[in-house]
Amino acid sequence: MNEVLKAMAERYSCRSYTGEAVSEGDLKAIAKAALHAPSAMNLQPWKLIVITDKALLEKMDAAAMEHFKNMPDQSMYQRFMERGGKLLYNAPALYLILKNPNTASNWAELDCGIMTQNICLAAHSLGLDTVIVAMASIPFKTNLGEDFKKAVQWDVGYEFGMGVLVGKGDMKKDPHEVDWDKVRFL
């Protein structure tokens, strides 16, 4: 099996990290792989923000957990508490993908999804673990959201596209099983 197919087969969603910093070289290599993602009409309707500021990540995490704690339905709060009480799972890096909804194509969301996959596969190829985390949008929706947007230099006119946590996992698990019933060859 070639290395790309192997990376796809082995990657899993890691929800617990050691907190150990990712090297600058690896952070840049992953960002470069993200920028290699194809997009409709090559419009590249994204901005990529790589957040490694531990204090900022902890504040974002705390704001999100407080948000969940104050919701009438406690199911999300309980789910994260069962997983260690952190939305960002102690990951040392968050790749925040912003999308420009005002592009000439209507494919910005899909394009950001392709970028997300590039980030995950690049990180895995470097021996790092990842989890795609759409809930990384939550801190930006709290009462501190505007402060967080300012801190990450959120581009005006852009919306949350996706988040990917990257780091050394302190857990290992098997990737999900392939379900061949989802495939039809004609």
Q: pLDDT tens digits for 7-59?
A: 999 999 999 999 999 999 999 999 999 999 999 999 999 999 999 999 999 99
Sign of the dihedral defined by the CA atoms of residues 78, 79, 80, 82, in that order: positive
Mean pLDDT value across residues 94-98: 98
Residue with tokens 């194809």: 38
CB 180 within 8 A of CB 146: no
- Asked whether the predicted pLDDT for residue 83 surpasses 90, the reply is no
Query: Helices 108-125 and 3-10 meet at what angle, rounded to 10?
Result: 100
Beta bridge partners of 46: 99
Average pLDDT, the chain: 95
**Phi and psi at residue 11, in whole multiples of 5°?**
-65, 140
**Res 105: pLDDT:** 85
pLDDT category, 157, cuts 50, 70, 90? very high
Query: Helices 54-69 and 75-82 meet at what angle, rounded to 10?
Result: 140
pTM here is: 0.95
- Fold of domain 3-171: NADH Oxidase (3.40.109)
What whole-number distance in Å separates Cα of residue 93 and Cα of residue 19? 9
**Res 160: pLDDT:** 97
Cβ partners under 8 Å of residue 36, min gap 6: 118
Q: What percentage of the chain reaches a pLDDT higher than 70?
A: 100
pLDDT category, 178, cuts 50, 70, 90? very high
Written as six digits, the tokens of 156 are 């005006």
pLDDT tens figures, 114-144:
999 999 999 999 999 999 999 999 999 999 9
Mean pLDDT value across residues 49-78: 95
